[in-house]
Amino acid sequence: MHAHNTHVETLAGKIEELTSQSVMQCYQCGKCSAGCPVRNYMEDSPNQVIRYVQLGFDDEALHSSTPWLCASCLTCSSRCPQNFDIAKFMDAVREVALEMEIDVKEKDVKKFHEAFLNQIKKNGKAFEFGMVREYKLKTLNLFQDVELFPEMLLKGKLSLLPHKKKDIKHIKKVFDEIK
C-alpha cells in the first residue's frame, strides 16, 4: 500500500469536497459495518474503506467492491455516533472511481446504473424494459429472470415502449453538466 500526502489530490480531499465532511470524523467504531445488510458480501468492511481513505491508501479504496455493493439503505449513516454520513461517502467513492475511469470490480452494478441512467437521459423517465434490455446486452446475462417476463407482460407490468417525458430539454441540461 502506498500512502499519499498532499490533501487536495488525495481521495480524502476529493471526498471532502464532494460531501462537505471530513473522513477524519470517523473514529473507526465499526457500527456502520455491524449494521450493514450487505456486509457479508463485502471483502472490505465499510469502516475499512473509510480507513483506507483516512490513511491515503486510495487505490485500495477505489478498487474495493464495497462501495459498489452498498445498497444505499442509509442504516450506517443513521446510526453513526459521529454523524458521519457513510452512505454519502460511498456515493463519493463511486463518483471519483468513475471519474478516474477505474476498472471497478463490480462491473454488473456499474452497468446497471449506466443502463438505468441512459433511459432517463433518453426518455426523462425510467423505462424498465429498455433498461433491462440494455443491461443484458452489456453484461450478457441474457437469461436472468426470463421466466418472469411473460407474466410481467401479461400483467401489464412491463411495457415494451417507453413512457416519455414531453419536454426533455431540462433533463438534457442536467446530463450535459456532468459530461
Please classify residue 7 by burial: count the beta carbons closer than 10 Å to its beta carbon, then call 0-12 exposed, 13-18 middle and 19+ buried.
Answer: exposed
137 lies in the site for another protein, by CB under 8 A: no
Contact map string, positions 28 to 67, toward another protein, x by CB under 8 A: xxxxxxxxxxxxxx--xx-xx-------------------
* Residue 104 in the binding site for another protein (CB under 8 A): no
What would the grid cell of residue 15 be? 471526498
Alpha carbon 150 to chain centroid distance?
Answer: 30
By CB atoms closer than 10 A (0-12, 13-18, 19+), residue 171 is middle
Question: Which one of 13, 59, 106, 133 is in contact with another protein (CB under 8 A)?
Answer: 106
Binding mask 139-168 for another protein (x = CB under 8 A): x----xx--x--xx--xxxxx---x-xxx-
**Which of 1, 5, 142, 177 is in the footprint of another protein by CB under 8 A?**
177
Cell of 155: 400483467
Under a CB-based contact definition with an 8 Å cutoff, are residues 72 and 87 in contact?
yes
For another protein, the binding residue among 53, 60, 116, 134 (CB under 8 A) is 116
- The secondary structure of 23-46 as a DSSP string is GGG-----HHHHH-TTGGG-SS-H
Q: Which is nearer to another protein, 5 or 127 (CB)?
A: 127
Binding-residue pattern over the window 64 to 103 for another protein, x denoting contact by CB under 8 A: -----xxxxxxx-xxxxxxx-x-----xx-xx--x-----
Size of the site for another protein (CB under 8 A): 80
